[in-house]
Amino acid sequence: MHRTVYLGSRISRHTCAPARLTGCTSLCVSFSSSSAVGLAQTPTKPNTKAPAQHRRHRNREPEDEAPKMPRYRVVKINLDRLRHLSGWEKIELLRDLLKTKQPEEAVRVYTVLKENDLVSRLKYQDYHELFHLLLADSLLYRDVILDVLSNLRRFGYSPSPLMFTALLQCCTKWRDLELASRAYDEMLERKLPVTADAYNSLLELHGMSGGIGQLQRGAELWRDVLHRGVRPNLESYLRALEIFGRLGKLEAIKTIYQTALDNLDLRDLTKGGQGRAQNLRKEQIGHDPKLQLDNAFLSALVNAEAFDEAQKFFGSYLEPGGALAGEGSRSSKHLLNTYTIILKMCVAKNDPSTADYYWKELQQRGFRPNVVMYGRMITIHGRAGNLQHSREIFETAQERLSATPGSGKLMKLRTSLLTAYTNAGEVAEAEALFETIRRDCQEKGKPVLRSAVQGMIKMYLNGKDLEKALRVWERSYRQGRSETSDLSPREGNHEGPEEGLAKNLTREDIIAQYQQLHPDG
């Protein structure tokens, strides 16, 4: 099997490399300009001289228009014959692949080095570069990333603070709170600096779907941020508002929001402003940071069930200079999130009429509802007993969002419709839809969404059918068929039947919930 990789000057500098890369006992190499694969050619120095007609005016050419010569030439390598190289040549090849940022091929060579017990010859810089190269796809290379860190320690090296921060960010994608906590404890033990970015990852992990204890530990982390003198950035305040909102700490929410307003320069950098937000990178802020902060505060008020204050604060969006006052260009993405939060409030208040009002308003403003917003409209009308309207919204959403069979959008829409059925106590419709969801997930090799499983369990518990509730748990939780909630906490999808039921549900939890609902029976 031939793969295209880029070899740097190191391979061409060593006189032994071309000889080792040419015969049947080594790699088959040929430059991409050659028509015959398998014939090695000695690399030649690229001609960097400007054409004659341009030499006279070369100094006048703009820098961005000057021809750029590639530093590395494309070659084809038979990686299946990699084992014929000596140990040193394999290490040199790995370093070239790290330079040219070829993660897939680098992992292949690193695996061979492990099999040949050669990883002990790698230096700290090799591990460091390989680690950061694999961060380009941390989900795909999770096992290799952890193995690189393990070998780094094994051979007497210590990860740098930057590597620890990157690991914490990976843990956020992996949703591995335990590993992140161990990494954080090690940073404190070694007295390494913990940056705002590192704390942001920890706060996000603790703000994900979990129990009250996980949220309380997140609140303690926020106090550590302030106590240790770390300067929070915008993302830090957003994560803190999420945690304290779900804890229902109204005064803490107001304090965090006001502190953010006082300490951050929230001018929109995408509009060419001269200022730069304190301790924030442009790519982290994005468009309209003030609106992002306002949305986080609004969401925290809704999560804390301070609905009157949330409604009052939303009124400021419509005041002159507000986000919805029509003055200036505001981010449609974040304004759409504003309406998503308002619909969430309507679901929590069980207020379908207000939801219909805002639903019409957002469409009149030209916004296109997303799958979360359609799901909330389906849920709220199901709770109100208007199942026919819920079905109509489901059909409309399926058509407008192009929710094809097997897609994540259709799964979320079906889960929302299932929630409407379970809230209304429509057992037959809920069971039929749940089986459809389960069958589609099995065909795609995907787990059933946790909110769907817990919705069925809660419906059976309310209907005094403990046997069926335990049967659903047996088929889902015990077999590992369920996963976390439909959407990440960033999208604010915490309402629904999963409230009051633990993430890692056990048989004892279900029985205790049943006894709490029906103490007499």
DSSP 448: B
Q: What is the pLDDT of residues 209-238, one digit of tens each?
A: 778 999 999 999 999 999 999 999 999 999
DSSP string, 279-348: T--HHHH-S-HHHHHHHHHHHHHHHTT-HHHHHHHHHGGGSTTSTTTT-S---HHHHHHHHHHHHHHHHH
Is the backbone of residue 46 left (phi > 0), alpha (psi -120 to 50) or beta?
beta
Counted residue by residue, the chain has a size of 521
CB atoms within 10 A of CB 473: 22
User: Which residues, listed in sequence order, are joined to residue 78 by a DSSP beta bridge?
Assistant: 2
Q: How far is CA 182 from CA 39, 138, 178, 186, in A?
A: 51, 19, 6, 6
CA distance 287 to 317: 17
pLDDT at 63: 41
CA distance 240 to 352: 30
pLDDT at 51: 52
Among residues 356, 415, 423, the alpha carbon closest in space to that of 385 is found at 423
- Phi/psi for 76 (5° steps) reads -110, 130
pLDDT at 221: 97
CA dihedral sign, ordered 338, 339, 344, 346: positive
- Decide: 471 and 459 in contact? Cβ < 8 Å: no
Say how far residue 347 (Cα) sits from the centre of its chain. Answer: 26
pLDDT at 77: 60
Q: Looking up tokens 């939060």, which residue turns up?
A: 341
Q: Domain coordinates of the chain in residue numbers?
A: 2-43+71-158, 233-368, 396-521
> End-to-end CA distance of the chain, in Å?
67
CA distance 72 to 100: 8
Helices (H), 116-175: 124-134, 142-154, 161-174
pLDDT at 481: 41
- List strands edge to edge, sheet with 29-31: 2-7, 73-78, 29-31
Radius of gyration of the chain (CA): 28
Angle at the Cα of 86 from the Cα atoms of 93 and 123, rounded to 5 degrees: 55
Q: What is the pLDDT of residues 469-494, one digit of tens each?
A: 999 988 876 544 444 343 443 444 43
177-189 and 196-207 are packed helices; what angle lies between their axes, rounded to 10 degrees?
Answer: 150
For residue 257, which amino acid is it? Y
Global confidence as pTM: 0.77
CB atoms within 10 A of CB 191: 7
Among residues 22, 10, 144, 23, the alpha carbon closest in space to that of 89 is found at 10
pLDDT at 35: 33
- Phi/psi for 268 (5° steps) reads -75, 110
DSSP string, 18-48: HHHTSSTTS--EEETT-SSTT----------
CA distance 22 to 28: 6
Say how far residue 491 (Cα) sits from the centre of its chain. Answer: 11
Q: Nearest 10 degrees: CA dihedral of 486, 491, 493, 494?
A: 120
- Phi/psi for 389 (5° steps) reads -65, -35
CA distance 408 to 431: 20
Q: Which residues of 82-98 are buried (b: 16+ CB within 10 A; e: fewer)?
A: bebbeeebbbbbbbbbb
pLDDT at 277: 35
pLDDT less than 50: residues of the chain: 1-45, 50, 53-70, 74-75, 269-286, 327-329, 479-502
